[in-house]
Structure 1
Amino acid sequence: MTTYRTLLIDDEELSREVLKTFLADWPQIRIVGECADGYAAVEQITALRPDFIFLDVQMPELDGFEVVRRVQPVFLPYIIFATAYDQYALKAFELKALDYLLKPFDRQRFGQALQRTLEQLALQRASDFNARIEALLETGLTDRPVRQPEYLTRLMIKESKRIFFLPVEEVQYIEADGNYLWIHAGNRRHLLNESISMLEQKLPPAQFIRINRSYIINQYAIQEMEPYFNGEYNVKLTNGAVLRWSRSYRDRLGQLAGWTP
């Protein structure tokens, strides 16, 4: 059985005990250390190099975000934030946290976060192995893994007092509205505080295509395309929306699966 190493970082002993109790149900996880303050966390992450960590936000000396900033240039494991404060969730995910557990959380919610982390770790190990094999075949070197770009697989949506995660494959199109975005999925839309240019860079280009200054579409949501005027197209999506593929973005037609000019 594949095992993974974790480090528990929280200034409250009771919180660390809860994590240890829940982790007892997961024999593939080995706890390699505990920290009660930010400075100790930086030292242990750097020395032990765990696969992932549980990290509190508010701690003595250094908070959780400062811990991340200090270890990032050297080694940054996957992160599950575990905290009693919901106002830091957006900042946490900007640091590419895998999950954000709000205390008090139950075994089910804990299990969801841990399962997601194990899936990412398994993908990373498989990717690293494949990269090493490719490097060996191409150059004869085994110590130069080629890492592929990491794209978003889900979007964090914050509405009222709740936060939920929307898989990107459920998104049909994205609409710019000033400094915000409307994420259209099915018959609903969700507001996201991000620029369209920044989000475009984070989405898998094999699936999402920007068709004009204000819209990004999921190409698998296209129902039909119709020539409009002067090299432009009307694009009809499965949810009934009709959007304009502008001439200035015509070079991106090549991203469409099966497209032949």
Structure 2
Amino acid sequence: MTISVLTVDDEPLALRRLELILAKLADVEHVGSASGCRDAIEKIADLRPEIVLLDIKMRDGTGFDVLNRLPEDCAPGVIFTTAFDHFAVRAFEAHAIDYILKPIEPSRLRAALDRSRDRLAAVDASEQIAQMRAVIDDLRAGYHEQGVQQGDDELWLRGTAGVLTCIRRGDIDMITAEDDYVRLHTASASYLLRGSIKAAQADLDLAEEEFVRVHRRALLRRSSIASVRRSTEKGVRVILRNGTDVGAGRVYAKKLLRSLAAVG
């Protein structure tokens, strides 16, 4: 049975990636895409897709806003797509609505679509609506509480194999940029997420005073810095406590050295 899918994301590259993945999946018809909340509401009501791949954070609102404003008789299957999921794990698990952590892998999307297909066959429209409203309430509560729960140090991240991993904000030593993605580095592992360094710092609620930019592609935790060395051949090098050697850009190096001198 072919299932119809609508994609919703305010990033053109993300929409294009989803389109390319869906085009390679059997029994899937990509009926359209939307680049924001208002556009998504109109297209879902008009096209009536069976499944919606829905971004959580968009420029004109959230995926929760989209679902709350759908017509009462419109209850598509929902797979949330998000770069940062530390506020949503419990709600998703409690209500059997799937989500995928960016960057989206084809195998993970295929599995999520298969589960949604099975769920659509097993649950009638009225029950889908009731379940969707319940998960929206839980997700919205978690979404708004994340900014005020300063004592909550847990982040839930999904790896490319689909395994959820819990890390502490305090364990992040470094964030580096890799094209359209960022990599979070801890002492024992690293995790790839979609977005910019600036967006990652804001979305993960990392205190600005705890980190220092040493390069346009590298942000370091101040307390993780063991030493700063100046080399004739390699310029300024920042050595972390775990032994990682990071080159500092010329402009950033001057600011770093000034700030360290001020502290000393």
Calculate the TM-score normalised by the size of structure 1.
0.45
Calculate the TM-score normalised by the size of structure 2.
0.45
Q: Which structure ranks higher in relative contact order (CA pairs < 8 Å, sequence separation ≥ 6)?
A: 2
